[in-house]
């Protein structure tokens, strides 16, 4: 009996329709939601990501503007552009494409974005809201993990949730997002003794380590919900942190890579743009 697939594309399509409807409603009120993306340098992957965001925004009616700066741009000029965007009432969301050139302080640049326009959810104030259960803008990938389960009819309350990986972008925010869903949370990492012991206790197992097929079938409790937030390049394509083909024979639910968590990230950034509009209106 193979696991039920957690279909990210299907969930993303449902959220996209909600976003479209909300954008249409805002436009009727004379508000044109707008995302500004700042790209410093010409990292090929970043250029592709920026263009895909532009296309995705066009599909739901969100205005998009890409600000490109040469790799040699001084840090002060990048900070100056961010300040202008912070103060521009027509811009509702700001994203900084990473990586930034070596001479630019990533932390300083990310923290220069106004928290109510920080649609990537990386500002310390938004991180604080995750901890306190406040109303901020939260990062898309951990939100994707939660949405994928909730919208697939999975109840998280009272479940033993084990996160493998404690990175700043996925693992750490997920701890508090799962606690806010009343799950019981265990976090495993490179220093965890007997990782498999912990993963086998999990009703919900979330892999976010960035190591191809690290989670094997014998590390999974039969019938568990397995969410794979990893994305790794291997010969012949990409794969997640879970050994999918073997794991699907043990798990109750499993998310594929591609087609799982990653399918939701762009549309959840769009949702953040709409949330930013509400926060900026004081709603």
Q: In this structure, is the dihedral angle defined by the CA atoms of residues 75, 76, 80 and 83, taken in order, positive or negative?
A: positive
Extents of the domains making up the chain: 30-114, 139-263
Tokens 């996209």 correspond to 16
34 neighbors 94 (Cβ within 8 angstroms): no
249 neighbors 128 (Cβ within 8 angstroms): no
Q: Residue 35: is its pLDDT beyond 70?
A: yes
| Cα–Cα dist 210/10, whole Å | 24
Give me the percent of the chain exceeding a pLDDT of 90.
Answer: 92
In which band, very low, low, confident or very high, does the pLDDT at 114 lie, cut at 50, 70 and 90?
Answer: very high
Residue 46, CA distances (Å) to 1, 43, 53, 63, 237 in order: 40, 5, 11, 19, 19
Q: Residue 15: is its pLDDT beyond 70?
A: yes
Tokens of 93: 């969301």
Give me the percent of the chain exceeding a pLDDT of 70.
Answer: 99
In which band, very low, low, confident or very high, does the pLDDT at 1 lie, cut at 50, 70 and 90?
Answer: low
130 phi-psi bin (left φ>0, alpha ψ -120 to 50, beta other): alpha
Give the global pTM.
0.94
Residue-level pLDDT at 157? 98
Nearest to 143, CA basis, from 161, 120, 123? 120
Residue-level pLDDT at 7? 97
Mean per-residue pLDDT for 114-120? 97
Q: What is the pLDDT of residues 240-270, one digit of tens each?
A: 999 999 999 999 999 999 999 999 999 999 9
| Cα–Cα dist 151/225, whole Å | 14
Residue-level pLDDT at 282? 84
**What 8-state DSSP symbol labels residue 217?**
G
Rounded mean pLDDT of the chain?
96
Q: What is the pLDDT of residues 52-91, one digit of tens each?
A: 999 999 999 999 999 999 999 999 999 999 999 999 999 9
In which band, very low, low, confident or very high, does the pLDDT at 134 lie, cut at 50, 70 and 90?
Answer: confident
Q: Residue 199: is its pLDDT beyond 90?
A: yes
* CATH of region 139-263: 3.40.50.720
236 phi-psi bin (left φ>0, alpha ψ -120 to 50, beta other): left
Sheet holding 93-96: strands in order across? 63-69, 34-40, 93-96
Tokens 């909730």 correspond to 150
Contacts 24+ apart (CB under 8 A), 275-282: 275/137, 276/92, 276/93, 276/116, 276/117, 276/119, 276/137, 277/26, 277/31, 277/33, 277/92, 279/116, 279/135, 279/137, 280/89, 280/92, 280/116, 280/117
Q: What is the pLDDT of residues 145-171, one digit of tens each?
A: 999 999 999 999 999 999 999 999 899
For the domain made up of 30-114, give the CATH fold.
Rossmann fold (3.40.50)
**Could you check whether 30-114 and 139-263 share the same CATH topology?**
yes
Tokens of 248: 């699907």
Q: Residue 107: is its pLDDT beyond 80?
A: yes
Contacts of 229 (CB under 8 A, 6+ apart): 141, 142, 144, 145, 165, 170, 206, 207, 208, 240, 241, 261
| Cα–Cα dist 190/193, whole Å | 8
Residue 240, CA distances (Å) to 41, 178, 180, 206 in order: 29, 21, 26, 11
Q: What is the pLDDT of residues 19-31, one digit of tens each?
A: 999 999 999 999 9
Q: Are strands 34-40 and 4-5 parallel, antiparallel or unpaired?
A: unpaired
| Cα–Cα dist 252/248, whole Å | 8
């Amino acid at each position: 009996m193979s696991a039920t697939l957690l279909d990210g594309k299907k969930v993303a399509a449902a959220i996209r329709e909600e976003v479209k409807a909300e954008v249409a409603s805002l436009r009727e009120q004379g508000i044109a939601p707008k995302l500004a993306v700042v790209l410093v340098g010409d990292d090929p992957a970043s250029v592709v990501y920026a263009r895909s965001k532009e296309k995705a925004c066009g599909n739901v009616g969100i205005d998009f503007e890409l600000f490109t700066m040469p790799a040699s741009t001084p840090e002060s000029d990048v900070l100056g552009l961010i300040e202008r965007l912070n103060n521009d009432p027509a811009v509702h969301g700001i994203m900084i494409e990473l990586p930034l050139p070596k001479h630019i302080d990533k932390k300083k640049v990310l923290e220069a974005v106004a928290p109510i326009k920080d649609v990537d959810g990386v500002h310390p104030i938004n991180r604080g809201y995750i901890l306190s259960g406040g109303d901020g803008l939260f990062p898309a990938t951990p939100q994707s993990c939660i949405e994928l389960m909730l919208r697939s009819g999975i109840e998280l309350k009272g479940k033993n949730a084990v996160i493998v990986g404690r990175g700043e972008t996925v693992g750490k925010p997920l701890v508090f997002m799962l606690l806010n869903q009343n799950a019981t949370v265990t976090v495993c990492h490179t220093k965890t003794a007997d990782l498999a012991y912990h993963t086998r206790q999990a009703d919900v197992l979330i892999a976010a380590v960035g190591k191809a097929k690290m989670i094997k079938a014998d590390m999974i409790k039969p019938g568990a919900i397995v969410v794979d937030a990893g994305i790794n390049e291997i010969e012949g394509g990409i794969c997640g942190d879970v050994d999918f083909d073997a794991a699907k024979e043990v798990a109750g639910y499993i998310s594929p890579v591609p087609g799982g968590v990653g399918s939701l990230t762009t549309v959840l950034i769009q949702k953040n743009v709409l949330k930013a509009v509400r926060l900026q209106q004081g709603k």
